[in-house]
Amino acid sequence: MYRLFAILLSCVFGFGFSQLPEFGQQYRQRLGGAVDELSAIIDRFDADGRRAGLDRAAALERHRKTGDEFFARRARDMEITIDRLDRLRRQQRALVEASGFARLLPLVTDLDRDLAGRTFADFEPAVPLTQEGLGLGALGLMLGRLVAPLLALAAGRRRLRRPAPAASSPSD
Domain boundaries along the sequence of the chain: 2-117+129-155
124 in helix, strand or coil? Answer: coil
DSSP 41: H
CA proximity to 74, closest of 61, 92, 83: 61
At residue 135, the pLDDT reads 80
Among the ranges 11-20, 90-99, 129-138, 149-158, which has the highest mean pLDDT value? Answer: 90-99
Region 56-80 average pLDDT? 95
Average pLDDT, the chain: 85
Please, which pLDDT band fits residue 58 given cuts at 50, 70 and 90? very high
3-state secondary structure 127-171: CCCCHHHHHHHHHHHHHHHHHHHHHHHHHHHHHHHCCCCCCCCCC
